[in-house]
Amino acid sequence: MSDLLSTAKNQITQMLSMQNAMNSRVSETWRDNNYEWYRAIWVECAEMLDHHGWKWWKHQEIDVPQVQLELVDIFHFGLSLRLMTGDSIADISQTLATELTQSSDEKDFKIALETLASKAVTHKAFDAVALADCMRLMSMDLNELFRQYVGKNTLNFFRQDHGYKEGSYIKIWHGEEDNEVLANLVTSLDTSAEDFQQQLYAALEAKYPK
C-alpha cells in the first residue's frame, strides 16, 4: 500500500469513528432512525453552489474557505451514509481511501458538484470520487479535509455539550460566529498532535461566552 493510501486510510478510520461517536451523541439509535443523509448532501451542494458562484448574468467571486467548509459538512453526511451500510470501519476506510485518492479529469467545479448531488438524489448514495474532484478543484487535499473535519466534529460535540439541542447554545462569541472562532483556533494548534481534538475542545471552552 502506498504511503498516500496508508495515510488516507488512517485518517478516514479516525473520522469514521468520530462520526459514529457524534451521531450517537445526537441519538443512540441513529442507525435505526432512517435519517435522510443523502438529502442533506444534495441540499448542501445547492448551498455550496451559491458560495462558488454560478450566475452568468452577474460578477461573482468564489468564496473558497466557505466552499471548503461545505465540502467538510458533506463529508460528515457521506461518512454517515457509508456507516449505514453495516460494513466494518476497516472495509469502509479502505474503500473510501481508494475513492478519495482517485479523481476524474473534470475541470469544471460546478459539473463535479452536480455529479455529487446527482448520486445523492438518484441513488441516495455518497459519491466520494466526485467529492475528491470538488476538493481538487478547490485546492483541498486529504490532510486539509482531515484538519477541517476534526475541527468541525469537535465544534459539533461542543455545541451538543452546551445546549445546542435544547436551544440554549450561544452561536455568537464576542462578535464572532462560532465557526469563525473555530477556524482561527484550528490554525493556531498542531493538527498532528495526538491530543489535537482534546486541545481544540479545551480552547473552545476557554473562548465560549460565560
- In terms of CATH architecture, what is 1-138? Orthogonal Bundle (1.10)
Residues contacting 87, CB < 8 A, separation 6+: 95
pLDDT of residue 210: 81
Its pTM stands at 0.87
**Single-letter amino acid, residue 70:** E
**Pairing verdict, β 176-177 and 172-173:** antiparallel
Displacement of CA 177 from its chain's centroid (Å): 18
**All three cell numbers of 44:** 448542501
pLDDT of residue 109: 95
Cα–Cα distance measured from residue 10 to residue 4, given in angstroms and rounded to the nearest whole number = 10
Displacement of CA 120 from its chain's centroid (Å): 16
pLDDT of residue 12: 93
| Burial state string for 193-210 with b = 16 or more CB within 10 A and e = fewer than 16 | eeebbebbbebbeeeeee
**What pLDDT tens digit does each residue of the chain (210 aa) get?**
578 888 889 899 999 999 999 999 888 999 999 899 999 999 999 999 998 988 989 988 988 888 998 999 999 999 999 999 989 999 999 999 999 988 788 999 999 999 999 999 999 999 999 999 999 999 999 989 998 999 999 999 999 999 998 999 999 999 999 988 998 888 888 877 778 889 999 999 999 998
Angle CA 56–67–137, to nearest 5: 75
Task: List alpha helices for 29-141, DSSP H.
Answer: 37-52, 64-83, 89-100, 109-123, 128-137
| Burial state string for 95-129 with b = 16 or more CB within 10 A and e = fewer than 16 | bbbebbbebeebeebeebbbbbbebbeeeebbbbb
Residue 151's nearest CA partner among 3, 9, 22 is 22
**Single-letter amino acid, residue 2:** S
Pair 126, 120: CB distance under 8 Å: yes
**Across-strand partners of 70?**
none
Cα–Cα distance measured from residue 78 to residue 116, given in angstroms and rounded to the nearest whole number = 10
Cα–Cα distance measured from residue 177 to residue 175, given in angstroms and rounded to the nearest whole number = 7
